[in-house]
Chain A
Amino acid sequence: MADFWSGIAWPLIIIVAQILLIVLPLLGAVAYLTYAERKVIGAIQLRKGPNVVGPFGLLQPIADGVKLLLKETVIPTGADRAVFVLAPLLTFILAMIGWAVIPFDEGWVLADINVGVLYLLAISGLGVYGIIMAGWASNSRYALLGGLRSAAQMVSYEISMGLIIISVLMTAGTLNLSEIVRAQGEGVWYVIPHLPMFVIFVVSILAETNRAPFDLPEAEAELVSGYNVEYSAMTFALFFLGEYANMILMSAIAVVLFLGGWLPPLDIAPFTWVPGIIWFALKICLILFVFLWVRATFPRFRYDQLMRLGWKVFLPLSLIWVVLTAGVLVTFDLLPA
């Protein structure tokens, strides 16, 4: 019995506690990201944004959540029930499990696996299923078109993202995310040597998360709301949570790969007093602000322009950069051991 307790039950309790410690703050972050989005876009458009529920409208996300909980879940008659319900669950779960390998601070990581980067690529590659399944199962024209667009878009941008990640991996010499951050601590943050790739990566994650100006899957002017048009109440809420959790996850990946993860900007006194997790959160907020800023600034891309940008601009550029990085690393003998 003692063996059972110390061998199985106790580690299980610890890991469940760790998972809750990641997921609960994440859900809070998602809720307040929607609030921040409305406030930021409001400020950019010289409006006030939500300001009625609670002080400064701070309780607005909670009110929205309660509203979604209390609404009725409608499943269309022609829908494929099982797949219809599975799709939002899948989107939500995938947005959560990616966080398992993200290092929040030195040693603060749920699963410190050696193929962390590949795991994240795999998880973000699966994200497309939630959307394509929703589009098909709804049995509606708009939803199907939205799902198809999104599938093509995500597959296209994943390729250039993969190549950008390869450049970073070559510089760091490891697939482990914590090691990548440590390698940046010894050298420079990779945003400096890989600045063009950082820009392309940020644009690609906009496309990967279906955010403006690449939000064609849910282009409200032509597709009403795209893949999630038939969804209501909790099923819609799961899509919504998944989409925003994915935004935060992608920002976290960008921070880990390019902005030095939990590291302070300068390794001197006032900066090192702040704990690493705060730096990590601040950097994520910076990239999330870019997400919102871009949404309020740029008009939506046309579909053929989106494909052109992915395949004819980003793919060759990132491919050249991989070759260039390898060449520079070998020529100047900078390869990590």
Chain B
Amino acid sequence: MIHALTFYLFAAIAVVSAFMVVLNRNPVHSVLWLILTFFNGAGLFVLMGAEFVAMLVVVVYVGAVAVLFLFVVMMLDINMLSLREGMLQYVPVGAAIAIILAVEVGLLFLDWSFAGEAMSLRAAPTPDAGEVTNTEALGNLIYTQYVYLFQVAGLVLLVAMIGAIVLTLRINPNVRRQDIGRQISRPKSQVLAVRKVRSRGGI
């Protein structure tokens, strides 16, 4: 009973906070609600016994991605009034897109059937959860069966990272930069001079 109760608690909060993300006027509040949604998603993963994935959701989405969101949104200077001005103008377009999507998804689900061998493929990709912890199970799978896909995913991320750096890196020759290696390799004779100063004489 407690299990079901916790499930409904997490699920309800997740749905409500997901709505709040969209309904909120203030973008910073929206991001904070989004974080709450992620958090409850992680809670649902824990209930399913997928503790490793739950922790990763919190570490990656809440701990890194959402921080960057918040960072960006906080720096934006958004005027709420001017945002609301053109609202009526966009309502028909938005409604049309929403209706088309809803109809498509509806059609898809009405006509949904599992392929004959789907269930047997789904069965037993990993050992039973009682035998190994799910960190171990995931590791065994990722680093053996799906090692190439895993490596490709890593390469894609690497390329994205290099791309971001290339796009944003500007080297301005007029900026004086600290070169710590050069600083500490200077000999004493270049940077230090001991003078005897005569009283009232100055240098």
Contact = CB atoms under 8 A, between A and B. Distances in A.
B178 A304 contact: yes
Contact of B135 (A115, A126, A155, A308): A115
B64 A136 contact: no
Contacts of A114: 51, 133, 135
B20 interface: no
A118 interface: yes
Given A125-B62, A129-B35, A118 B2 contact: no
Interface in A144-162: 144, 148, 151, 155, 158
B55 interface: yes
Contacts of A128: 63, 67
A29 B51 CA distance: 31
B56 interface: yes
A118 to B, nearest CB: 4
Contacts of B21: none
Contacts of B51: 113-115
B67 A132 contact: yes
Contacts of B2: 8
Nearest to A148: B71
B3 to A, nearest CB: 12
Interface in B1-17: 2
B74 interface: yes
Contact of B59 (A83, A121, A129): A121
B32 A155 contact: no
Given A115-B135, A304-B178, A122 B35 contact: no
A155 B67 contact: yes
A144 B178 CA distance: 27
Given A122-B63, A125-B59, A155-B64, A305 B74 contact: no
A321 interface: no
Interface residues of A, number: 26
A176 B36 CA distance: 26
Contact of A125 (B29, B64, B180): B64
A181 interface: no
A158 B59 CA distance: 10
A8 to B, nearest CB: 7
A305 B133 CA distance: 41
Contacts of B178: 304-305
B67 A119 contact: no
A175 interface: yes
A183 B71 CA distance: 40
B44 interface: no
A114 B136 CA distance: 10
A249 interface: no
B58 A122 contact: yes
A151 B63 contact: no
Contacts of A126: 58, 62-63
Contacts of B32: 83, 133
B57 to A, nearest CB: 9
B28 interface: yes
> Most A CB atoms within 10 A — which of B2, B52, B135?
B135
A290 to B, nearest CB: 24
Contact of A175 (B29, B58, B135): B135
A305 to B, nearest CB: 7
List the 5 closest pairs (A to B, CB-CB), nearest first.
A125-B63, A118-B55, A122-B58, A114-B133, A122-B59
Given A151-B67, A155-B67, 14 more contacts: A113-B51, A115-B133, A118-B56, A121-B55, A122-B59, A122-B63, A125-B58, A125-B63, A126-B62, A132-B74, A144-B74, A148-B71, A151-B70, A308-B180
20 contacts: A8-B2, A83-B28, A83-B32, A114-B51, A115-B55, A115-B133, A118-B52, A122-B59, A122-B63, A125-B59, A125-B64, A128-B67, A129-B70, A133-B32, A136-B28, A136-B70, A144-B74, A151-B70, A155-B67, A175-B133
Interface of B: 2, 26, 28-29, 32, 35, 51-52, 55-56, 58-59, 62-64, 67, 70-71, 74, 133, 135, 178, 180
Interface of A: 8, 80, 83, 113-115, 118-119, 121-122, 125-126, 128-129, 132-133, 136, 144, 148, 151, 155, 158, 175, 304-305, 308
